Chains A and B, each alone.
Chain A
Amino acid sequence: VSSDFLNLLERLVNAGVDFVVIGGFAGVVHGCTYVTQDIDICCDFSPATLLALQRAISDLHSVHRMTPKRKKLQLTEKTCGQFKNLYLDTDIGQLDCLSFIDGLGNYSQVKGKSELIEVEKMKVRVLSLDALIKAKKSMNRPRDKEAVLQLEAIKKLKSSQQDL
């Protein structure tokens, strides 16, 4: 089955999961031209949010893709507290859920640096361009070098367009 990030987003929104799109896919939303194979979100890791997230993707054979045997996603109110991040694989794409972003902070701090966009009549929060650049820079990973250059160029191009 092909990945379908719009479907994943739609499921999360419809399930009432409060989240912010971060990482490479946020770069795509801002205009980056690279292709990313997963969608990263930052969300509150309360049992209510994680159980809603689980319900949203319950029919997608979701597994913890970093575990040796790709353990099935089976969260309970008790086990939710064990996780700080979830690295999932589903039938329609990889979904990474983080509770904290280096350089930015926890979910409420990340949410404060996000902007609301409309995608196919869905309202989705996406990390702002400035915050995304800051987060990518703070991770200082060689693989993010091109992303940072693209994002900084996009920032400049957008401000130049506003000046015209």
Chain B
Amino acid sequence: MAAKSKKKRVSKSESLQTAEIQAAIDYGIDVSMLISNIGRSCTERIIRHQIALNTAEKLRKARRL
């Protein structure tokens, strides 16, 4: 039973390492950030995007001292 459970866990983990995931990793995409985002609601994703965009806009307008 324990062996069967372990085997099941391994296959679930391996199922994440598909061609699509590997292609994203190879391109330099942080897949852990995608996984975190999937766990969020649409509203949370939009709000976090807005925070990032506003920060980027502030940095773009910043002047050199």
Contacts and interface: CB of A to CB of B under 8 A. Distances in A.
A119 B40 CA distance: 12
Main secondary structure of the interface of A (DSSP, over half): helix
Interface stretch (A76-84, A106-114, A155-163): A155-163
Given A3-B53, A152-B20, A164 B12 contact: yes
A117 B33 CA distance: 22
A28 B23 contact: no
B17 to A, nearest CB: 10
Q: What is the interface of chain B mostly: helix, strand, loop, or mixed? A: helix
Contacts of A145: 27
Contact of A33 (B23, B33, B56, B57): B33
B20 to A, nearest CB: 4
B38 interface: yes
Contact of A2 (B35, B49, B57): B57
B16 A160 contact: yes
Contact of A6 (B20, B31, B50): B50
Contacts, number: 92
Contacts of A28: 45-46, 49
Centre residue among A29, A35, A126, A154 by max chain B CB count within 10 A: A35
B5 interface: no
A33 B54 contact: no
Give the interface size bracket for A toward B.
20 to 34
A139 interface: no
A150 interface: yes
Interface in A133-163: 145-146, 149-150, 152-158, 160-161, 163
26 contacts: A2-B57, A5-B46, A5-B50, A6-B50, A28-B49, A31-B34, A31-B40, A31-B45, A35-B52, A35-B53, A119-B46, A126-B42, A149-B27, A150-B29, A150-B34, A152-B23, A153-B23, A153-B24, A153-B29, A153-B31, A154-B37, A155-B20, A156-B18, A156-B21, A157-B38, A161-B38
Interface of B: 12, 15-16, 18, 20-21, 23-24, 27, 29-31, 33-35, 37-38, 40, 42-43, 45-47, 49-50, 52-54, 56-57
